[in-house]
Structure formats: structure tokens, C-alpha cells
Structure 1
Amino acid sequence: MGFGNGIKAHANRFEDVLAKHGRDVLWQESNRCSCFNVDSGQPRYDCKACGGTGFVYELPIAGRPAIQNVMTNKEYLAYTGMFEVGDILMTVPANTMERKSDGTFNPAIREPVKMYNIGFGDIVTLIDDEVKTSEVLIRGEPLNNRPADTLLNPKVTRVLSIRMHDPLTGATTLYDADDYTATGATIEWFDGAGPPEGEQYTVTYMHRSVYTVYAVLPRPRHQDGQELPRTVVLRYYPGGVLHESIICRNSAT
């Protein structure tokens, strides 16, 4: 696909490549929370809508963009200083082939890609990848503006172990999987099980890789009457509760 010297871009061909070789993701559009203080530039720490993050996210929408490591692409060496180790590039097409229920594609039908409008602050979850994290919670107490017994990373896939260490004796208490259940990112203890209220414990778990859109790279989106793919920079999301939108609209009665 060329952009100069009279070479015509072929958006459809590039879109077909992205459909066949892309990665399945979930995209969540971000909205600035109305609690944002226009004078201080800060959100309300106690806001129930955004959890103090300043952003509220729409429910996930599936997409299939192309993803690659920034460090392997010489084209972006000019942006050195803008990127960090671990950043990735994601190319999003404007349209894509219809995807059948069996996962194959129908080249005769093209559909618009909703996440083509992706922008700064949006969230992208890689649903074909897992990351292991170990962190400390306090039984029954909120931590860092998160509800009680709620893990930092919201896209939990499985809990590997929960244990409590005694700093005085060195003894380790390993809790059985029958002592608790994981609902989303929250650990729920059954009656009479788990550490005492107010005690710290450690959870080791797997979760999806979640990224936030750090920058939208400037490049033409329209050429030869076509909507060309766009490229954004993704940075690993540091965790935290994602507050998805529960949209209330006034309706005529």
C-alpha cells in the first residue's frame, strides 16, 4: 500500500490481511467523567462513577487489529523518547470481512469496524494472552480506592493460590479453593473460611493483558476515496478497577 509517487492505496487488501493475521481484542471507549474539576484538572477521589480515575468506560466491543512491538519496527525510530519498552503498535482497519460463526471470513461481505474511532485513553484487552501477578489484599477492607478484597487487575482469568504468611514464625497458610470464589476481580470468602478480618493475605492469579491508548500516530486516514487503517500506540495498563458505563437516557413518557 503506497502513499506517494502516483501509487494508489488499496485499503481493502490491507484490511483482508489484518482480518486473517490480526489478534482478537476487546475495545472499551473512554469517556471523561463529569466529576472532573475544571480548575484543578483532577477527578474526585470518591466518585462512584469513575472510581477516582477520571474516566468511565463503555462495555467491551470485539475487534481484530494487527499488533506488533514498537522496538521491532524501524519506521518508528524517529519517535524515540515517545515510546517505552513494552509499548505496542496497533493498526485498526475501517472495514473488515464478515466473520462467520466458525471463525472463518466471508470476503463477499464487508462490515464497518466500530473500534476504528479508537482514541486517547481508550482501553484494549488482549484476550489471547495471560499475565501472572501476585499482590496483597486486606480481608474486608478497601485498598487504594478499590472495594474490599478486590484485585488490582480487573480482567482476572483464574486464581492460582491464596495464602497468608506469618512474619514472626515464617509459617504459611495456604487456603483451599473451597474456601473462596472469585467473582470478576473480587475474592469472596465463604463463612468461617479465610484470614481474619483486617489481616493481610496474598493472591497469585492470572489476568488478561490490558493496555491504554497512549497516542494516535498522525497519518492520513482518507486517500483515493478510501478509509485507510489507523495506528495507535498502546501502553500497558497499570491496573485498577475499570468502571464501565451504565448509561441512563431520558425517555419520553
Structure 2
Amino acid sequence: MTQLSSAEFNHFLNSIGQAVMWRRSHACPCVNPHSGQPKPSCQHCTGNGRLWQGAVPARTGVAGREGQKQWVQFGISDVGDVVVSIPSDSPLYAIGPFDRVLFLNRTEPFSHNIVKGVNEQINFFVVGIEKVLYLDDAGALVDAALPAVLADGTLDWTDVEVPDGVTFSVTGRRRGEYYCFPATPFDRPHHAGAALPRKVVLRRFDLYANQ
């Protein structure tokens, strides 16, 4: 009788897998046990009802395009989700609902608008900013100096060219971050006592507020 080897699965997934940073999720104590709603003014979770621990490095396999399309067809995941196959020797193997996963081996473009002086904190991991544009009082397009991005996502301007209250666009590249979709973190699939890889659906963290 042939027995599946978790060690061989782990070796294969670690050799082809991607590096990620995993952050464990916890429910914030501010959530009302009766309504299930978080406290909007909570300074710890900023009103979203979840807290995340510090990042832990890990590795995981990522399903190919065809494999991900099959999960979409089964109704288990949606377009834009990522299906990962996690080796049992990875810290990520303990992933649970709402845990966050930041992919380190790939980047993606972004471009969106921010109002100067209102909320200049970017809530995703920026690799680099390539261009900042705004319209002056005459309606002319201005190519502004590029700000630095601090560790907390706040924009730090050396040459303040964008006036307060003015909307500007910021374009660059960022790392993709996902969260463990709460409907799909299956229990560990043991086979004859062996801890085999887990398949888990990860959803874009941008969509967290709409889960």
C-alpha cells in the first residue's frame, strides 16, 4: 500500500513556493457580543473589529491559473482570490480566519487619489512611488515631487508642493496582501496520520471591509 509522504510534499512546495509574511488575527475586545459590531472609535482596531499580530516569515505554494479557475467554478473562491497550498512545516499551516498574508516575491501596480492634509496614510505595503499629479488653481496638471512612505504608511514630503485640501493621484507599485477568507479555512487534512498540505483560499485585503 502506497502511503503519501508529507515530507516529500513539504520539500516540493518549499522548493517552488513563494515567500510571505503571515499575521495572526484576533477579534478585538471592543466588539459588542450582542450585535457583533465593533466600536467605531476604538483606537486599537480603528473600528474594523480585528487585531493582527506581528508578521512571521513563511513559505507557501500557490495554485496555478487552471487550479484557481476550478475553485472558482466550484463556487469556493471568486475571481481575484488566490488559492495556496501550505506545507505542514510552514508556520502558515496554522492559518485561521481573517489572518493576513503579504506576498514578498511579486509586486503589482497601483494608482489612486488622496486628499492632501486629510488622510495621507496608505493602508498597503508600497514598494515605490513613481508619480504624483494634481491640478493647480488654473486647472493645469502639475507633476509634483515624490514623497517618501514611512513604516506606518504615512506620506512624508520633503518638498511640499501639493496644497492642503487638494486631491492628488499617487502611482507606483505595491505588494499584494490577502486575508484568509473565513468560509474556507478547512481543518488540517490528515491522511493515515500524516499532516498533508492545506489548501486555503485567500481574498484581497482591499475587500476586507466588504466581507
- Per the alignment, residue 99 of structure 1 pairs with none
CA distance in 2, matches of 1:127, 1:156: 12
Percent identity over the alignment is 26
Q: CA RMSD in A?
A: 2.4
For 1:93-108, list aligned pairs within 5 A.
Answer: 93-95=87-89
- Per the alignment, residue 115 of structure 2 pairs with 138
Q: Does 1:149 align with 2:144?
A: no
CA distance in 2, matches of 1:175, 1:55: 36
Shift of 1:169: 4.2
**Aligned in 2, Cα 1:114/1:14: closer, same or farther, shift over 3 Å?**
same
Aligned match for 2:75, one of 51, 72, 81: 81
Q: How many residues align?
A: 206
**TM-score normalized by structure 2?**
0.87
- Per the alignment, residue 101 of structure 2 pairs with 124
Aligned match for 1:43, one of 38, 58, 61: 38
Q: Aligned to 1:136, what secondary structure does the other structure show? A: strand
Shift of 1:74: 8.1
Q: Aligned to 1:38, what secondary structure does the other structure show? A: coil
Q: Which segments of structure 1 move beyond 4 Å, counting only runs of 4 or more?
A: 74-79
- Per the alignment, residue 210 of structure 1 pairs with 177
- Per the alignment, residue 16 of structure 1 pairs with 11
Q: Does 1:114 align with 2:91?
A: yes
In our comparison, the structure showing a higher alpha carbon Rg is 1
- Per the alignment, residue 51 of structure 2 pairs with 56
- Per the alignment, residue 247 of structure 1 pairs with none
Please say if residues 119 and 216 of structure 1, whose CA atoms lie closer than 8 Å, have aligned partners that are also in contact.
no
**Aligned in 2, Cα 1:28/1:74: closer, same or farther, shift over 3 Å?**
closer
Q: Aligned to 1:137, what secondary structure does the other structure show? A: strand
CA distance in 1, matches of 2:30, 2:115: 28
**Aligned in 2, Cα 1:207/1:239: closer, same or farther, shift over 3 Å?**
farther
Shift of 1:217: 5.2
Please say if residues 25 and 127 of structure 1, whose CA atoms lie closer than 8 Å, have aligned partners that are also in contact.
yes
CA distance in 2, matches of 1:78, 1:204: 30
Amino acid at match of 1:62: P
For 1:164-243, list aligned pairs within 5 A.
Answer: 164-166=134-136, 169-177=138-146, 180-184=147-151, 185-190=153-158, 193-214=160-181, 215-216=183-184, 218=186, 221-238=189-206
Shift of 1:78: 8.7
Amino acid at match of 1:198: G
CA distance in 2, matches of 1:129, 1:25: 10
**Per-residue deviation, residues 169-216 of structure 1 (Å, max 9, x unmatched):** 441111123xx32213211223x6222222221111211000111143
